[in-house]
Amino acid sequence: MAETAHPDTEARAEVEGSSQAPKDITPVYEIGFHIVPTVGEEGVPAVLDRVRALLGDAEIISESFPQKMTLAYRIERAQAGAREKYTESYFGVIKFATEREHLSAIEKGVQGIREVMRVLIIGTVREDITQHKQRTVFSSDRLEGKVIEKPAAQKEVAVEVSEEELDKSIEALTG
């Protein structure tokens, strides 16, 4: 009995061999991590180098050097038999491309760094999708013209009310 290839398998092989197949389909990820503030500014580069080393041969697309920030809430963690409590950290992000099967090892490796208190890896796109703030500039001719004056607020004059009138008003309101 002769074996025949499934039509879908043949079609897939043709697409993979054609010029229409994408050349680089390596998934792109971002790893965000919080470094404990006790390392100080001088210790941050060493921790960042250790995170980069764990990425192995992954293509690093972009990164932001960890910046000190105030956390939205206090993070507590058990470390060396004691509870550590942090309200600030150094937060850094690295965008990289690697195969999906490497993610688990990368995440476990970064979690194993004692100075890293939180880590998150998300899938993303290769392009930079951040929006940069642009200043709005107005030319002087747009600002010329009639100036609209706002009328000054008039002060209310306090009027004396007798106790009888006040009692009548309260009685009318309460029924």
Which of 6-15, 33-42, 43-52, 131-140 bottoms out in mean pLDDT, i.e. has the lowest? 6-15
Q: Which residue has the higher pLDDT, 52 or 24?
A: 52
The secondary structure of the chain, three-state, reads: CCCCCCHHHHHHHHHHHCCCCCCCCCCEEEEEEEECHHHHHHHHHHHHHHHHHHCCCCEEEEEEEEEEEEEEEEEEEEECCEEEEEEEEEEEEEEEECCHHHHHHHHHHHHCCCCEEEEEEEEECCCCCCCCCCCCCCCHHHHCCCCCCCCCCCCCCCCCCCHHHHHHHHHHHHC
- Residue 145 predicted with pLDDT over 60: yes
pTM > 0.75: no
139 belongs to a structural domain: no
In this structure, are residues 51 and 58 in contact, taking their beta carbons and an 8 Å threshold?
no
pLDDT reported for residue 23: 53
167 belongs to a structural domain: no
pLDDT digits (tens, 9 = 90+) for 69-82: 999 999 998 877 88
pLDDT reported for residue 137: 58
pLDDT digits (tens, 9 = 90+) for 122-143: 998 888 766 666 666 555 555 5
156 belongs to a structural domain: no
Q: In CATH, what number is assigned to the domain containing residue 56?
A: 3.30.70.60
18 belongs to a structural domain: no
Average pLDDT over residues 96-118: 93
36 belongs to a structural domain: yes
**What is the band of 19 on the pLDDT scale with cuts at 50, 70, 90?**
very low
84 belongs to a structural domain: yes
pLDDT reported for residue 132: 62
pLDDT reported for residue 81: 84
The range of the structural domain enclosing residue 98 comes to 25-124
**What is the band of 15 on the pLDDT scale with cuts at 50, 70, 90?**
very low
174 belongs to a structural domain: no
pLDDT reported for residue 6: 44
> Structural domain tally of the chain?
1
- Residue 42 predicted with pLDDT over 80: yes
